A and B are shown apart, each in its own frame.
Chain A
Amino acid sequence: MGETVFIKLRHRVQVKPNAAITVGDVAQVMATDSGMAKQLQTIPLYQIQPSDKNIVIIDVMKVVRAVLQADRSLDVQTVGPSQTIIEVVYEKRRFSTAYFLLIWLLLFVGSAMAIMNFHEDVSMQQVHQHLYEIITGKKVDKPLLLQIPYSLGLGIGMILFFNYVFRKRINEEPSPLEVEMFNYQQSIDQYVILHENKESMRKIDDD
């Protein structure tokens, strides 16, 4: 058995369109002979084509095969994820401010309408009138003394939940939103790993 080489694939790599991907792009390579590790990193693996669209999966077996082809006496050890997701980044879509403002307004008006419908749906006006009467013993039509703090509290509660005010000062924990984004990305990655990688599934009608 020859020299041991350790290969650890990266999880996610961004490349430009028509890039030629080498072993070093998708993996960390470690060997006692660092010159050889450097040389192994330059082995070409894959050429991005326009037909690949924006996701390519490189399986660890492809990397091992390429390394063994370069030197069949090596003892290849793999560590970590068994595939790399290659994301082909086409020219960054620049967002116009107008577009962003439109979405902002959409969300703003939409959530305003949603909260009004919610109030009507649960008859909150009556509940507030009733609450006013419970506290003070007087009947009023518009208990604004209760309702204005309530309205401000709505916004405070939402911001508090997503922890945007205290995050930097109090703790380093990610906010629920960041965790949620991470989980969503994780699910997408899991999906593309299985569905874009021809090696990971074998169907009956595949020859």
Chain B
Amino acid sequence: MTIEILTVIFVGFAGGLAVGTGFVAFLVVLGVIPRLTQLTKTMKRIHAYEWSAVVGAVVGGWMSLRHSILYVSKYWLIPIGLLHGVFIGMLAAALTEVLNVWPILAKRIGVEDKIVILLMAIAFGKVVGSLFHWIYFVDYFQ
């Protein structure tokens, strides 16, 4: 019995460790946090940002696994959704950057000066695609 419990604890801990390191590696590769500190000029606070990512991951993991329920107003979802979207948007932007999409695209089709408009195409495409998905598409895919 004790051995079983210890094994389960060990497996859970090992799994969490692997996922946690993977999560951090993902954030580091995409460089979202340095980008945010650069935008806001708060390089000194970088350790606080590290902790916010760690605590966020732990709280999110805990809440989704424990099915805890807060019973608060539904309007809390608006700021949460907005922050959620900004974060995913930054990840998506960072991903196109890491993959070197823009410089190659601009070179190939020769539009170095109009690249902002193409960037807007991607950003609006994301917004419209996402809205379409939630409002319309999900009804036909249950």
Contacts and interface: CB of A to CB of B under 8 A. Distances in A.
A80 interface: no
Interface residues of B, number: 72
A155 interface: yes
Contact of A158 (B118, B123, B135): B123
Contact of B97 (A111, A112, A180): A180
A140 to B, nearest CB: 9
A79 interface: no
Interface stretch (A14-22, A52-60, A68-76, A99-107): A99-107
Interface in A149-170: 149-164, 166, 170
B81 A148 contact: yes
B77 A154 contact: no
A170 to B, nearest CB: 8
Contacts, number: 220
A192 interface: no
A188 B35 CA distance: 26
A177 B133 contact: no
A197 to B, nearest CB: 21
Interface stretch (B11-19, B21-29, B99-107): B99-107
Chain A interface secondary structure, helix, strand, loop or mixed? Answer: helix
Contacts of B78: 145-146, 149
A161 B81 contact: no
Nearest to B31: A176
Contacts of A131: 77, 80
Contacts of B103: 180-181, 183-185
A184 B125 contact: no
B72 A135 contact: yes
A136 B109 contact: no
A2 interface: no
Contacts of A65: none
A49 interface: no
Contacts of B35: 161, 176
10 contacts: A95-B111, A109-B125, A111-B125, A115-B125, A132-B77, A147-B130, A153-B84, A153-B88, A157-B87, A157-B92
Interface of B: 32, 35, 38-39, 41, 63-64, 67-94, 97, 100, 102-104, 106-107, 109-112, 114-135, 137-139, 141
